[in-house]
Amino acid sequence: MNTAPATYPIGTPGTPWSEEERAEWLSRQTRHRSYESEVLSAIGRLSPRFDVQEYGRLEYGSDVYPLMAIRSREWQEDLPVVLVTGGVHGYETSGVHGALQFIDQHGADYAGRVNVLVAPCVSPWGYERIHRWNANAIDPNRSFHDDSPAEEAAALMRLVAPLRDRVLLHIDLHETTDTDETEFRPALAARDGKPFEPGGIPDGFYLVDDSENPQPEFQQALIEAVEPVTHIAPADDKGELFGSPMVARGVIQYPLQKLGLCAGMTDARYRTTTEVYPDSPRATPEQCNTAQAVAVCAAIDYALAHRQ
């Protein structure tokens, strides 16, 4: 695995970025792939079988991105809601395509049992630039709170607000990549004027449970379902994954709402964040996408079986 640079190329160590440094950072970002051809086209192909809606629109300079959601066509007001989100960090590819694979291959399986709502690419600007942040150098996944500074998060919260009390399950699909260590965490430290502290990247799939509302049996059901598809990350020599204690096999915990994380945006009983490791020589892109889809199915199955 590559190592992080000794100093980040933008800004002065120890000094938070001003607008000048943010502008310099933005000027270095380039488009690497197409949201329209890779994501919107896939959503369009689903429209004969599911309801598709635009729930917001991002405008960054001349770039305009419709924010799209996919709903069960047989929506019933008396059924619980399952919320599936992907691409909150645009660079985490299998979050986007795993969400699309789930709804394409398995979404109809739950008709009449739950209402499924999928927002497969929450951060399309970041998707195109393979970046964690939005164009304002803001992490959408720390922005799910009142007066959010990230329109990506604010738009999704507006979409979900009328359903918030009916969400039984929210599964947010993510990846942990080698570039977390080589680019994104160094950039975060530079942006905030803090020292960068090197860490390690877990080799395999893991989950983030809610420390304020832990559901250990639910999390383990997902781990067991995903393991035939891709390997589960072992703890490091400190008993940790990505700097957090491993509380069970393949599981760590964060206070989801306190941190403004996407998975904490509702009061759903069952909440989790998946973390796929696409840089492993033991995992292909297809395995990563399938692992995400399998995790969603396992999560819905468990939530329905243990619904109170």
Mean pLDDT of 127-147: 98
Q: How far apart are CA 115 and CA 304, in angstroms?
A: 12
Residues 5/186, Cβ–Cβ less than 8 Å: yes
| pLDDT given for residue 2 in this prediction | 46
- Rg of the Cα trace of the chain? 19
How confident is residue 146, by pLDDT bands cut at 50, 70 and 90?
Answer: very high
User: Angle CA(177)–CA(234)–CA(3) in degrees, nearest 5?
Assistant: 35
| pLDDT given for residue 110 in this prediction | 97
| pLDDT given for residue 1 in this prediction | 44
Q: What is the DSSP string of 236-248?
A: -TTSEETTEE--B
Q: How far apart are CA 146 and CA 220, in angstroms?
A: 32
| pLDDT given for residue 5 in this prediction | 57
pLDDT higher than 60, residue 83? yes
Of all residues in the chain, the percent with pLDDT exceeding 90 is 95
Amino acid at 157: M
Residues 126/92, Cβ–Cβ less than 8 Å: no
pLDDT, one tens digit per residue, over 20-60 is 999 999 999 999 999 999 999 999 999 999 999 999 999 99
pLDDT, one tens digit per residue, over 94-124 is 999 999 999 999 999 999 999 999 999 999 9
pLDDT, one tens digit per residue, over 158-167 is 999 999 999 9
Q: How many helices (H) and strands (E) does the chain have?
A: 10, 10
| pLDDT given for residue 194 in this prediction | 96
DSSP state of 264: G
Mean pLDDT of 69-80: 96
Q: How far apart are CA 222 and CA 272, in angstroms?
A: 10
Mean pLDDT of 163-177: 97
pLDDT higher than 60, residue 235? yes
| pLDDT given for residue 6 in this prediction | 62
pLDDT, one tens digit per residue, over 288-308 is 999 999 999 999 999 999 987
Residue with tokens 């990846």: 175
**Mean pLDDT across the chain, nearest whole number?**
96
CB neighbours (10 Å) of residue 221?
20
Q: Calculate the alpha carbon distances from 110 to 47, 86, 113, 114, 187 in Å.
A: 17, 19, 5, 6, 41
| pLDDT given for residue 7 in this prediction | 81
Amino acid at 143: S
Q: How far apart are CA 291 and CA 173, in angstroms?
A: 10
Q: How far apart are CA 287 and CA 284, in angstroms?
A: 5
By DSSP bridging, strand 244-245 and strand 240-241 are antiparallel
Q: How far is CA 13 from the centre of its chain?
A: 29
Contacts of 151 (CB under 8 A, 6+ apart): 56, 58, 134
| pLDDT given for residue 33 in this prediction | 98
Q: How far apart are CA 134 and CA 140, in angstroms?
A: 7
